[in-house]
Every structure is written in structure tokens, then in C-alpha cells.
Structure 1
């Protein structure tokens, strides 16, 4: 069986992985906290600081293009990518547009390029919900990126 037994998390050793992180600057306080939690967890999983490339973009809609550019930047340059952002519902339809299109873009980049992408673009009703989720979601993104990179390697 490839992967962990049912209900168990596999051992995560990111020692030899290269991870790209794209962070949206909109709602920067939240996305900075997401980033800090993510890179702290990546380090705890053994990913070396020099193997983490961090870039920022204006907002969530720009994240997929940066991810795509990183995914296509060279043969095996990245083992996994991470998308960080924060979209908070407002009074207009814009929330749905940004949430749906950024999510679809992240998924498309992953599938089109065959690279795992941990999507940690928060979509919340208000700032309080975002703040509650920012650290755990950042950590979770790191774990997902490492786990999926290792799984992809085993499956290939």
C-alpha cells in the first residue's frame, strides 16, 4: 500500500524537498501570519530555509499566475507549492468571484502541471474568523505540501 494506513498520517520528512510559497498581500496581517505559520511548520518538517522560495502578489486572483510561473520554471525545481491568501466576504458579489476564481485557478495549475499545491487561501465571513484560522491553516498548508510531494514521488 502506498501512503499511510487508514486513519494514520504518514511520516513527513521534507528534508530533500523544494517548496514554493505564493502569498497574497491583501489582508496582509492575516497572510503574514499564514506565511509565518507555514514556513515554521515546513522547517519543523525538515525543509531547509534555502529550499523555500517565497513570493508575494497583490491579491488572491493573482496567486494562480504566480503558481503557474513557478510550476513551469524548470524541470523539478519545486516539489510542491503553497497558495496563501485571505478573502473576507463583503457586501457585494466580488467575494464569490474572487473566492471561486482563485480556487479554480489554483486547482487548474496543480492539475495542468502535475504539481501538488496546498491551497491555504482563506475564505471567511469576517476578519475574526480569518484570525482564528490563520495559524492552523498555515501549518496545515505546510503539512499538505510535504505529504503530497512525498506521495507524488512514491507514486511515480
Structure 2
């Protein structure tokens, strides 16, 4: 038996939201592009500049611990993870991709806070550039929508 669909979904109205962003500096030009697109979309959705805090960390493996600190502060309605991992010739790509992704998910579930994961995992730099702007915008929309949905549900 299925429950009734109440039609609840998070809106893209960011007027009253506080958003935390953690950006990895590794592949800096790409993660800067992700951040620029993300910040522009947050503003377009009504999130005020004063309600956005962006911090940087060295790389994707450091993103989860910064997200954890932000989540523990309880100052944010949603968080955003930005980074870029490009496949190399060794197993390191898989390690960084898997562990950063697992860490982001763990923080979200442990702290019951939405986290938009826009850590790109790509085969080459061309793929990263092709995705950076859209993934940055998408991360902003996901964070806003999920923050509003969680507010509706809880």
C-alpha cells in the first residue's frame, strides 16, 4: 500500500537559508569555476551573501572534516561540497573518489543536514571543464531544494 503523495517538495526559494560551502583547492581553476557558478546560482535563488560561508581545504579528502565542523555548528540549513578528482595512472583516483564521497554522505546522515555533493570525478580535464559550470549551479539548487524539503518534513 502506498501512502498519499502530499506533493511536498522543497522549493528553490533561498531567501531565509544559510549555506556552507567547502571547496577543495586541488585542481584550483576547476574548483574555482564550480564555486563561481554555485555562488551565482545561490544568489539567483535569493540566498543572501551574508548567509553564505565558503571555506577552502587542500583536497577532496579534506572536504568531509570541514563539512563535519560546519554541520556541528548548526549554523547552516544545507552544505555544499565542491571539488575535482581527475583520474590518473594509479589507484589513488579510486581511493580519493570513494573515500571523499563516503565521508560526505556520512556527515549528511550523521548530522541530518543536506549536503549537495559536487565533487567531480572525471576521466580527464576536458570532462571536468565540460561539467564544472552546470554542476556548480546544480549544487546550489540541490542544497536549497533539500534544505526547504527538510524544513517541510521535520
Deviation at 1:2, TM superposition (A): 4.3
TM-score, normalising length from structure 2?
0.95
Q: Is the 8 A contact 1:24 1:59 kept in 2?
A: yes
**Within 5 A, what are the aligned runs for 1:60-79?**
60-74=60-74, 77-79=75-77
The aligned residue for residue 52 of structure 1 is 52
Deviation at 1:64, TM superposition (A): 0.1
Q: Is the 8 A contact 1:80 1:145 kept in 2?
A: yes
Deviation at 1:71, TM superposition (A): 0.2
The aligned residue for residue 8 of structure 2 is 3
List runs of 5+ in structure 1 lacking aligned partners.
5-9
Alignment of 1:21 with 2:26, yes or no, is no
The aligned residue for residue 99 of structure 1 is 97
The aligned residue for residue 121 of structure 1 is 119
Q: How far apart, CA to CA, are the structure 2 residues paired with 1:146 and 1:3?
A: 14
Q: How far apart, CA to CA, are the structure 2 residues paired with 1:11 and 1:112?
A: 24
List runs of 5+ in structure 2 lacking aligned partners.
1-5
Alignment of 1:40 with 2:40, yes or no, is yes
Q: How far apart, CA to CA, are the structure 2 residues paired with 1:38 and 1:11?
A: 17
Aligned length: 149
Q: How far apart, CA to CA, are the structure 2 residues paired with 1:11 and 1:79?
A: 13
Q: What do residues 13-48 of structure 1 show as CA deviations (whole Å, max 9, x unaligned)? A: 000000000000000000000000000000000000
TM-score, normalising length from structure 1?
0.94
Deviation at 1:12, TM superposition (A): 1.1
Q: CA RMSD in A?
A: 0.9
The aligned residue for residue 83 of structure 2 is 85
